[in-house]
Structure 1
Amino acid sequence: MKDAYSLILEAIDLGTYKPGDRLVESELAERFGVSRTPIREALQRLETQSLLTRDGRSLIVASLDHNQLAELYVVRSELEGLAARLAARHATQEEVRLLRGMIEEDRALIDDPQALSRANKRFHKQIHLASHNRYLVQQLDLVHRSMALLATTSLSFEGRGLQTLEEHHRIVEAIAAGDGDRAYEALKQHISLAFETRLRQDSMAEARFSV
């Protein structure tokens, strides 16, 4: 059974609670069927990790400004690139087959951005694990927790889903070939294109809002 921290984090990640939403102990305890003490402890932990912020006496889901988003993607790009480089060195044949299988299965999700987003997270997590470096996996887990603060997915942008799977294919083939440099560059480019797509989405949303 998941603990209160995991339940709240998952709810943020799934968009049940979006940036700016207020989190109330009693409501969370009722929703998840747990007492208020573990909820309170979980909220304190999430605040310490900057996933929640104070608004007066209330805790709300934090949001990322442009600079924070850029900083997050820089760190994510370097760490994920390193994971791909190490995976090219350490991934087993079984792990490579699993990654290839994920890409084929995800083709059925092209028209469902939310489902594809969840599958995308699983794919990236598997690359992290294939690096066989526990400390790197821990740091990437922290980065991906912060990614939960993004209210939308770049995979909802037209054509991005298919493009993402093509990028995933290039990453996996580099890993399978044991080419660490190529895997590193392929994954860094993948993250760069995802960031560019997100910036384009945000720009279009702002333009609609200002009209």
Structure 2
Amino acid sequence: MQKDAYTLILDAIDTGIYRPGDRLVESELAERFGVSRTPIREALQRLETQSLLARDGRSLIVASLDHNQLSELYVVRSELEGLAARLAANHATKEEIDVLKEMVADDRALMNDPVALSRSNRRFHKQIHLASHNRYLVQQLDLVYRTMALMATTSLAAEGRGEGALAEHAAIVDAIEKRDEDRAYEALKKHISTAFVTRLKRDSQNNA
């Protein structure tokens, strides 16, 4: 299925081709993606409405998240992801749980590649969202993850964070497999909290 202009630009932000502060120019985007300027213009307007792009004079740039926005995002993410884990513990099929277990096992080979681990981490969380079997929750989490594309770095790049995140993933899957809704909820919330602390520490070091 051919991607539309909106998805193409969003993917480019998500994969770091365009980073916070980068200027987006209609003609350059049209040439890069091989589409006309009209759908590019409409996509840029949509992304600006969603606060993924910001105005810098007459130009549109990829937005960045300040400390308060980051804190607000993690509060919402923590609650929604925790709810997804709780629902997954109740509704996930055996096959969905098997996939989660395989993901954790496969990620052990990615410990020294933070970028690949970050992509795999996103797929792992998306699998939990889908295993909740609640379409409205999945939609809301998609919005949260869209905004997370504005983070310039991954917390998984911090020293030792990969191993810790993998152990947390294993604990989440174990709770889901045992149908322990409360433990699944708490394990995922703790996982998100630890990721946020790691990110705050990295940001403070980078700004020192």
CA–CA separation in structure 2 for the residues paired with 1:4 and 1:112? 30
Q: Which segments of structure 1 move beyond 3 Å, counting only runs of 4 or more?
A: none
| Runs of 5+ consecutive residues of structure 2 not aligned to the other structure | none
Q: Distance in 2 between matches of 1:28 and 1:63?
A: 20
Task: Please report how far the alpha carbon of residue 53 of structure 1 lies from its aligned counterpart in structure 2 after TM superposition.
Answer: 0.6
Q: In the alignment, what sits opposite 1:179? A: 180
Aligned-partner Cα distance in 1 for 2:196–2:110: 21
Letter in structure 1 aligned against 2:166? L
Paired AA for residue 190 in structure 1: H
TM-score between both structures, scaled by the size of structure 1 = 0.97
For residue 207 of structure 2, give the secondary structure of its aligned residue in structure 1.
Answer: helix
CA distance in 2, matches of 1:202, 1:113: 17
Partner of 1:201: 202
Alignment correspondent of 2:164 = 163
- The sequence identity of aligned pairs, in percent, is 77
Mark the runs of 5 or more structure 1 residues left unpaired by the alignment. Answer: none
Q: In the TM superposition, what whole-angstrom CA distance separates every residue of 1:80-107 from its partner, at most 9, and x where no partner exists?
A: 0000000000000000000000011111
Deviation string 1:175-207 (CA, Å, 9 cap, x unpaired) is: 000000000000000000000000000011011
Aligned residues: 207
1:144 is aligned to 145
- How far apart are the structure 1 equivalents of 2:123 and 2:147? 16
* Partner in structure 2 of residue 11 of structure 1: 12
Q: CA deviation at 1:112?
A: 0.3
Residues 9-39 of structure 1 show CA distances to partners (whole Å, capped at 9, x for unaligned) of 0110111101000000000000011111111
2: distance between equivalents of 1:68 and 1:185? 23
1:129 maps to a residue whose letter is L
SS state at 1:16 partner: coil
Question: Which residue in 2 is equivalent to 1:67?
Answer: 68
Across the aligned residues of Structure 1 and Structure 2, the Cα RMSD in angstroms comes to 0.4
Structure 2 CA distance for aligned equivalents of residues 36 and 107 of structure 1: 43
Q: Which residue of 2 aligns with 1:103?
A: 104
Q: Which residue of 1 aligns with 2:59?
A: 58
Distance (whole Å) between structure 2 residues aligned to residue 200 and residue 22 of structure 1: 28
For 2:22, the equivalent position in structure 1 comes to 21
Q: Which amino acid aligns with 1:131?
A: S
Determine helix, strand or coil for the equivalent of 1:54: strand
Deviations 1:129-176 (A, max 9, x none): 000000000000000000000000000000001110100000000000
Task: Give the structure-2-normalised TM-score.
Answer: 0.99
SS of the counterpart of 1:79? helix
Which range moved further: 87-96 or 33-42? 33-42
Determine whether 1:45 maps to 2:55: no
CA distance in 2, matches of 1:20, 1:30: 21
SS of structure 2 residue aligned to 1:34: coil
The code of the aligned residue for 1:203 comes to S
Secondary structure of the 1:53 match is: strand
